[in-house]
Structure formats: C-alpha cells, structure tokens
Amino acid sequence: MGEEAVMRAVILIGHGSRAAGADDDMEKIAAGLRAKLGGIVATCRMSGHGIPFDEAFDQCVRQGAKSVIVLPYFLHFGVHLREDIPEMIRKAARRSPEVRLVLGRHLGYDDVLVTLVAKRIGESEGLCDVRELAPAPIDRCPG
C-alpha cells in the first residue's frame, strides 16, 4: 500500500435503515474498494444502524488521512445530496481545516447501471408472485 493511498480516505455515505442487514451491500462495496484501491475506505449512514458521518470522518483523520472524498451511495440527486450531506461535510471541514474534504459524485446515472438493471430484470423473471412473498421482518437479516 503506497503512501498516497494511506493519505487519502474515501467515505461511502448511505441513507441508513433500521432494518437488520439493509446496509450489507454497501459494506461489501467498501470491502471491494479496499481490496482494489487500498488505503482507508469507511462507511457511514445518514440514520439508522451504523456510525454517523462525524465519527467516520474522525476515524479517517486519526488514521492519517489528509484528503477525504465523501462519496454519496445514492442513485437520486434529492434533498440529502442537495442540502443535508453538504452541510454535514462543511461542518467537518470547519473542525478540521488541515484536511481536504471533497463531496464526490453520487452514483446517479451510468451505462453500467443500465446493464445491471437489465440483469436484475432477467433474474426477476422466475421469482414468485408478490401474493406468495413471505414477510421480511426488519429485525432479522434476509436469507
């Protein structure tokens, strides 16, 4: 792991949920990014389970990050992306002026997502009718 990778951190920020296991996919993405990019890759949530942004940011700084890219794990450019997240990271920037803090681009549109959605449509063809779908309690992980 090079010195440059250690000096930069990435924080994936998701919406969060009270449902058990709801954020597992974001954690898997973070693990994949750690393996691919090296360095510090953290996760946080706007609400629900998991650590809040301030805590994730402070952990990155304690680990030596001098530059932090906050990547919103969101598809849509809604209120969280327009107001809430920028305000959170501005507060962190005021607390830590020595750290470069960047609000990265949200997931949004990408041709790769068209391919993924087409894949999910194909995978869904063989699923049961919604009337046969078992309830998914929020206090247990799926599966």
The confidence band for 110, taking pLDDT boundaries of 50, 70 and 90, is very high
The total number of structural domains in the chain stands at 1
Q: Quick check: is 60 in a domain?
A: yes
Model pLDDT for residues 126-142, shown as the tens digit of each residue: 988 888 888 877 777 66
90: containing domain: 3-126
Q: Quick check: is 10 in a domain?
A: yes
Residue 76 CA: distances (Å) to CA of 84, 108, 112: 14, 6, 16
Q: Quick check: is 98 in a domain?
A: yes
Global confidence as pTM: 0.86
pLDDT value of residue 28: 95
CA distance 62 to 82: 28
Q: Quick check: is 53 in a domain?
A: yes
Beta strands in 26-72 (DSSP E): 40-45, 67-72
